[in-house]
Amino acid sequence: MKPKKNPNAEIGRNSSLYFMIGLTSVLFITWQSFEVKFYEEDTKVSEVVQVTDELKEDVPITEMIRTTPPPPPPSAPNVIEIVEDVEDVKETIIESTESSQETFIEDAVVRIEDVDVEEVEEDIVVPFAIIEYVPVFPGCESLETQAERKACFNEKVQEHIKANFNYPASALEMGITGRVYVQFVIDSNGRVTGIQKRGPDKLLEKEAERIIASLPKVKPGQQRGKAVSVKYSIPINFIMQN
């Protein structure tokens, strides 16, 4: 025979109801805890200030320095002597330098024979290509024609550049190469002057100027039987070889 259960004795019959009542109570208590306000109590702080009635301080003793008074100013003499001015002052008369209508100025006549005319020599610069008699480089004196002397002059200048060429160390380190155009003047005394240069870098220009400035003195060029300055130009190549 199967035993029967009493429905009033079932434990989980009202469990959902109890759960809702408990959850509601917890929410109510939580809400009330948020609503509760606490106020800080005022605290009384007493400050104590100590004030001294008498202030005793040692005053340093100072010494008064007495300086002597300055001497009194000199008194005026009892007798004042009056000196009379007996010297006569001569007035300086300044004559006027302005001319009037009555003043006559003679015309100055200058003769041509009395005038000294000084001839000023002009420094004529003639290009090397059209000079009548080219400058003669040392070693080219035996040549007779001007064409041979021109060729000899060009050759001697190139030999001088090769013999005195020194590639700048700083330009080698930086890999600077290029062509420097140099122009200079051989004056009427046969010396190199007025060096002008244009190149890719200052280091190369400085070396090119040094080489040209060391050229020897030459026999100056002549134009119409007179020594003149001659302009000459030449390029100098700076090339690094492996």
Mean pLDDT in residue range 81-99: 64
Q: Under a CB-based contact definition with an 8 Å cutoff, are residues 196 and 182 in contact?
A: yes
Say whether 44 sits in a helix, a strand or coil.
coil
| Predicted confidence (pLDDT) at residue 58 exceeds the cutoff of 70 | no
The Cα-based distances of 183 to 75, 232, 236 in angstroms read 88, 6, 11
Residue type, 85: D
Query: Pairing relation of β-strands 178-186 and 229-238?
Result: antiparallel
Task: Assess whether pLDDT exceeds 90 at residue 156.
Answer: yes
Higher pLDDT residue, 109 or 218?
218
Higher-pLDDT residue of 206 and 8 is: 206
pLDDT tens-digit readout, 182-206: 999 999 999 999 999 999 999 999 9
7 pLDDT more than 90: no
Q: How far apart are the first and last CA of the chain?
A: 122
Q: Which residues lie across from 230 on neighbouring strands? A: 126, 186
Please determine, for residue 112, whether its predicted confidence score (pLDDT) is greater than 90.
Answer: no
Domains of the chain as residue ranges with CATH: 125-238 (3.30.1150)
Confidence at residue 57, expressed as pLDDT on a 0 to 100 scale: 54
Q: How far apart are CA 228 and CA 133, in angstroms?
A: 10
Closest to 128 (Cα-Cα) out of 221, 204, 57:
221
Q: What is the mean pLDDT of the chain?
A: 78
Residue 85: count of CB within 10 angstroms of its CB: 6
pLDDT at 91: 67
Size of the chain in residues? 242
Q: Which helix (H) or strand (E) holds 35?
A: helix 15-35
Residue that wins the pLDDT comparison between 215 and 76: 215
pLDDT score of 53 more than 50: no
Average pLDDT over residues 7-20: 71
- CB atoms under 10 Å from CB of 93, counted, come to 5
176 phi-psi bin (left φ>0, alpha ψ -120 to 50, beta other): beta
State pTM to two decimals.
Answer: 0.49
Asked if 169 contacts 208 with a C-beta cutoff of 8 angstroms, the reply is no
Task: Express as a percent the part of the chain with pLDDT over 90.
Answer: 36
Residue 46 has pLDDT above 60, yes or no: no
**Mean pLDDT value across residues 93-104:** 62
- Which of the two residues, 174 and 75, has the higher pLDDT score? 174
d(CA 154, CA 146): 12
